[in-house]
Structure formats: structure tokens, C-alpha cells
Structure 1
Amino acid sequence: MDTLNFIPTTCISDSMNGLNNLDSAIKPLKEDHLLFGPAFTVKMPVGDNRVVLKAIKEANPGDVLVIDAKGDEYRAIAGDFIIGMAKTLGIAGIVTDGVIRDIRGTKELDYPVFCKGTTVAASGKSGWGEMNTPISCGGVSIHPGDWVAGDTDGVVVIPKNNKASIMKSALEKLTNDQEREKTVSGDIEAIRKYLEKF
């Protein structure tokens, strides 16, 4: 991913009036990780990650696996072995409203994983689940092909049909924010003048 041209999730969120932000508990395992790509949606039964393995096999390089784990925080959706396979196959990252395990090994992979937390318990592998169907993850409805952006502030979802206009608006917001910061940075009088508007 071109990190130099990454638009912060805050700007993307602002361009959608904050409507498509995932649960604020879903954060990157490593603060500096960035994520941007189309969603490959996964709906897994609680505590059973067989469908996650199937999704890794079916997803295209550059896709983001977005896994609806029903918010379960007891059993992991994956550990470092499964996450390592996703990285090797070129999947852009993983987002889940569940938890993962093998944290030390996963962090060593230096790969974008956004989740609610960590656990020690593994999942079973007997269920089926669904792939590439509409899901709800982190309180947001997500369709296959919607775009997912993640950074240290969290994760936002960009509806695929509105991606161009939303990203244009988000870029304008970023540009305006940067100009505003330049205007007032370190200048007490400029700050006071700015605050007079409020």
C-alpha cells in the first residue's frame, strides 16, 4: 500500500458524518499499521474458524478479510500460523469484531490485524460459515467489495458505490486540515483569531 498517499480514517469518517465507523474497540495490534482495500466478507460461527481458512484460499491479493465473529472474545478467529498464510498469499489485512491469539508471533509478522483484543483459546474447525455475503462487523453493515480503511484511530467502511465521491471529500478534508494547521501552528495571534469563530 502507498502509505504516503494514505488518507486518515478521521478524514474518511468526517466525509461520511461518522456513519460507518466500526466499534472503537477494534484497533490495530501495532499502532503504525495502515490498511486499505476491498472487503472480502466472512461470517463465521462463534468459536469455529474453518470458514476463515476457506476465505484465505478464495480471497484475491489486496483484499481485506473482514470477519464477523459475532463479537466473541473467548475463542480466537486466528493465530500467527493462519495470519502468516494470509500475509504470504498477499491478503492486505484482517479486520474482525473478534479476537486473535499468538500475539508475539503475530506482531513479528508485521502485518495489519485489527481486532477487539487477544485470547489464549483456539477455535474449532467443524463449522461452515459464509463468504462474500453481507455481514455486520463492529456494528456496521458491510457488503463484499466495500472498501475498508484502518489506522491507529480505528476502522471505517466506504460503500463501494460511493467510494469516489467519499474519497474526494476525505482528501479535501485532509487538505483543509493541513492548511488550517499551517495557519495557526505556533502562532498565538493566529490561534486567537481562529478561536474567535466559536
Structure 2
Amino acid sequence: MEKALIDELKFIPATCISDALQGFNHCDPAIKPLKEEYRICGRAVTVKVPAGDNMLVIQAMKEGNPGDILVVDCEGVQYRSFAGDFVIGLAKAVGFGGVVANGTVRDVLSIKEMDFPVFCLGATLACSKKIGRGEMNIPVSCGGVTIFPGDIIAGDANGVVVIPQDKAKQVMDAAKQKMQKDQVRAEKVLMNRETAIQYIDTVQPEK
């Protein structure tokens, strides 16, 4: 059931999922895909590491199943990267569906060439060391949102939103309704100037 639910969510814009969550649970807007066309949707595998230490990022890659999303909490530090092209290549090789982090990568051009979804704060030069501090499979904070292992992570060019696992079906149903409502409205209103003006005249302040 969960796989089928995630497969359906993959086709729903992150904006509609955000609306279904009433605008809550989206990561800081600074966390964006390295390529606008990237989309992700999958279960969170979480890891928390201090800045400049990515050993547990690598170890966490044994914890996931194909299609899961590796969520890295590196405290928002941008000076040192949490991964370069080799570490991101490992995540792709073991079958993750993408990586989300409140940190930076390096080797950004070669990572883009992998065509593997990475959502982060951007790129930097400095590498990490492998010391081994941190924790895996715990609640983490990423972009201001608490993410529990098993929560569903969805993201596209607009950003990343987190669906609590116990609300996944409810959120999916509401997001699908929002998407369908938006499609119907666009088909009805955006036909020509007359239909657009008619719509504009009906817009009222929200209460």
C-alpha cells in the first residue's frame, strides 16, 4: 500500500501537497534541487552529522531501500560540503531516489551530470572528513522541519515538503483534490480575456 501511495504522490506537485498540509512542513526555501527538473518522492532515511564529518552519511546508505530519500541534517553549515560527486554517486549506486540536505555539496558539475536528484543549499569547495560522529535513523531537523525516519519526502523545483507518515493517505487525497480543482479552474478561466475577467470579478478577500 505504501509503495502505491508513494507512486501516486510522485505525480502531484509539491505545491499541492503543501496546500494539503495548510502550508506547514515545507523545508526552508533555500533548499532547492541542483536542477529544476528534479523530482523526488520517497521514504526518509535520516542521518545527523556535525559540520565537516560525513562518515555516517556514507554508513546511512546501507539503511535504505531502493527509492528511499536520504535526508542529511548537517546543521545548515555551508562552508564544508557534506558530500562530493563520489559520495553522491554511492547514494545513486545503492538505489536511493534522491538526497535532501540542509548543507552543501561540492563537485557540483559532475553531480549534475549523474542526473540524480540532490536538493541542498548549493555548492562549496571544502570537503568533509570521516570521523564518525552523529546519529542515524533518528528525528532530524532539515530546513526548519522535523523529519522522522519513514516520513515521506516530496520535492520539485518549488522546494521540499515533508508528509508525516501517519497522515500520508489523508494528505495524498487532499493534494489530489487540490490538483484536480486547479486543473478545472485553469481550463475554465484561462480560455480567453472574457473568462479571465469574469473570474477576476469574483475574487473576494479570504476570511
TM-score with structure 1 setting the length: 0.96
- Residue 177 (structure 1) aligns with: 182
Query: How many Å apart are 1:161 and its aligned residue?
Result: 0.1
Give the 3-state SS of the residue equivalent to 1:94 in structure 2: strand
Query: How many Å apart are 1:45 and its aligned residue?
Result: 1.1
CA deviation vs aligned residue, 1:31-60 (integer Å, no higher than 9, x gap): 101000000011011110011000112222
CA deviation vs aligned residue, 1:153-195 (integer Å, no higher than 9, x gap): 0000000000001011001000000111111123111111111
Give the 3-state SS of the residue equivalent to 1:33 in structure 2: coil
- Residue 101 (structure 2) aligns with: 96
Q: Which moved more, 1:162-171 or 1:184-193?
A: 184-193
- Residue 123 (structure 2) aligns with: 118
- Residue 46 (structure 2) aligns with: 41
TM-score with structure 2 setting the length: 0.92
The answer to whether structure 1 residue 157 and structure 2 residue 191 are counterparts is no
Task: Work out the percentage of aligned pairs sharing the same amino acid.
Answer: 52
Q: Which runs of 4+ in 1 moved over 2 A?
A: 1-5
Distance 1:136 1:77 in 2: 15
Instruction: Specify which of 65, 74, 82 is matched with residue 70 of structure 2.
Output: 65
The residue identity in structure 2 corresponding to 1:190 is: T
- Residue 11 (structure 1) aligns with: 16
Give the 3-state SS of the residue equivalent to 1:190 in structure 2: helix
Distance 2:7 2:114 in 1: 19
Distance 1:4 1:26 in 2: 20
Where structure 1 has 5 or more consecutive residues not aligned to the other structure, the ranges are: none
Contact 1:184–1:190, Cα closer than 8 Å, also in 2:
yes
The answer to whether structure 1 residue 188 and structure 2 residue 173 are counterparts is no
The answer to whether structure 1 residue 24 and structure 2 residue 25 are counterparts is no
Distance 1:110 1:3 in 2: 22
Considering only aligned residues, what root-mean-square deviation do their CA atoms show, in Å?
A: 1.5
Give the 3-state SS of the residue equivalent to 1:107 in structure 2: helix
Where structure 2 has 5 or more consecutive residues not aligned to the other structure, the ranges are: 1-5
Query: How many Å apart are 1:2 and its aligned residue?
Result: 6.0
Distance 2:122 2:36 in 1: 14
- Residue 54 (structure 1) aligns with: 59
**Are residues 137 and 5 of structure 1, via their aligned partners in 2, closer, same or farther at CA, if it must alter by over 3 Å?**
closer
Contact 2:14–2:155, Cα closer than 8 Å, also in 1:
yes
**Are residues 166 and 31 of structure 1, via their aligned partners in 2, closer, same or farther at CA, if it must alter by over 3 Å?**
same
Give the 3-state SS of the residue equivalent to 1:126 in structure 2: coil
Distance 1:50 1:185 in 2: 52
Query: How many Å apart are 1:128 and its aligned residue?
Result: 2.2
**Are residues 164 and 120 of structure 1, via their aligned partners in 2, closer, same or farther at CA, if it must alter by over 3 Å?**
same
